[in-house]
Amino acid sequence: MARFINIAGAQLGGIARDESRRHVVERMIALLNDAHKRGAEVVVFPELALTSFFPRWWMTDQAEIDAFFETEMPNPATQPLFDAAKRLGIGFYLGYAELAQEAGGTKHYNTAILVDKTGAIVGKYRKVHLPGHADHRPHMPYQHLEKHYFDVGDIGFGSWDFAGGKFGMAICNDRRWPETYRVMALQGAEVVVLGYNTPTHIPWEPVYDHLSAFHNHLVMQASAYQNSMYVVGVAKAGKEEGSNLLAGSCIVAPSGEIIAMASTAGDEVFVAKCDLDICLYNRKAMFNFAEHRQVHHYKKITDRM
Ligand code: CDV
């Protein structure tokens, strides 16, 4: 048995601080067209794909901060992306900053959505693992203020019927945590799609700077294998407002092998033909969760340390 789906990563190069949403969306539609020509059925865009990675700046004016957030999705700037995907019959993953009015008040989330080939939003995820710091550190060349600007995601990790398979979503730093993938695998996820913005120099913790590309692939390859799933990781890459963002966007098979990868640090599409039935092989053998997991030995994982 085989259940093929063509999945594309749509890596973006840097986005300038003053670059309009409309211009970014034009870049994304060009990638969508390219992906369509190459047979893609699903396209994965990066984390916070509509703007520059604004958590690198300390801002105190709430209006200035909120200008980086979307209050509705789609909206006039992103509607052309939804329309293009619908016209081409392609589903997509999109990361963006979400400003939500909720019962508890105004919330700011680092969010991703799954949009199906009819243009309908079928899934939403809000980033759980927020990296960086909440305080201003003026001695550093740039900040990483995700803990300052975002609330911790309140939805948790899900799994959606999507494009003929079971898809889960994560966002950037989530990919470094084994729990991310396992919680989705336990819900049947066969493909985890995620976007990232990873500076190659981490000013507050530079000890592993020289290994940033290695660690990026290490976590996604190990997790794909250990959970018998595809992992699609897509970067915002290259030079962006004084920060160099890691490229290396890729698609990892359930074997842990990278089967497609971007070769530049700019706007680029790469595609892999993925057989989702491959996920089942190992889930019936080495990683048969029901048969082999010993959950009574895992309780400390959910204890707060
Ligand atoms: N956007 C991110 O979550 N970036 C982090 C960096 C700060 C380490 C990452 O895990 O790639």
Pocket test for ligand 1, best of 196, 204, 218, 236 (most atoms within 8 A of CB): 196
CATH number at residue 221: 3.60.110.10
Q: How many domains does the chain have?
A: 1
- Pocket perturbation via mutation, ligand 1, pick of 133, 197, 214, 245 by most ligand atoms within 8 A of CB: 197
Spacing, Cα 128 to ligand 1 middle (Å): 12
Q: Relative to the CA of 132, which ligand 1 atom is closest?
A: 7
Residues of the domain holding 38:
4-303
Ligand 1 pocket: which of 146, 149, 194, 198 to mutate (most atoms within 8 A of CB): 198
Instruction: Report the nearest-CA residue for atom 8 of ligand 1.
Output: 198
Query: Residue 93 C-alpha to ligand 1 middle, in angstroms?
Result: 18
Report the nearest atom of ligand 1 relative to the CA of 55: 1
Distance in Å, CA 113 to ligand 1 centroid: 19
CA-to-CA distance for 138 and 146, rounded, in angstroms?
16
> In tens digits, what is the pLDDT along the chain, a chain of 305 residues?
799 999 999 999 999 999 999 999 999 999 999 999 999 999 999 999 999 999 999 999 999 999 999 999 999 999 999 999 999 999 999 999 999 999 889 999 999 999 999 999 999 999 999 999 999 999 999 999 999 999 999 999 999 999 999 999 999 999 999 999 999 999 999 999 999 999 999 999 999 999 999 999 999 999 999 999 999 999 999 999 999 999 999 999 999 999 999 999 999 999 999 999 999 999 999 999 999 999 999 999 988 76
From the CA of 299, how far away is ligand 1's center (Å)? Answer: 27
Active-site annotation, residues: 47, 127, 172
Protein residue closest via CA to atom 6 of ligand 1 = 198
Residues having CB closer than 6 A to ligand 1 are 47, 131-132, 144, 172-173, 176, 196-198, 202
DSSP the chain: ---EEEEEEEEB----TT--HHHHHHHHHHHHHHHHHTT-SEEE--TTTTS--GGGS----HHHHHTTSBSSSS-TTTHHHHHHHHHHT-EEEEEEEEEEEETTEEEEEEEEEEE-TTS-EEEEEE-----S-SS--TTSSS---HHHH-PPPSS----EEETTEEEEEEEGGGGG-HHHHHHHHTTT-SEEEEEE--BSS-TT-GGGGGGHHHHHHHHHHHHHHHHT-EEEEEEB-EEETTEEEP---EEE-TTS-EEEE--SSSSEEEEEEEETTHHHHHHTTTT-HHHH--GGG-GGGGS--
Say how many C-beta atoms besides its own lie within 10 A of residue 302's C-beta.
7
With vertex at residue 185, the alpha carbon angle to CA 9 and CA 128, rounded to the nearest 5 degrees, is 70
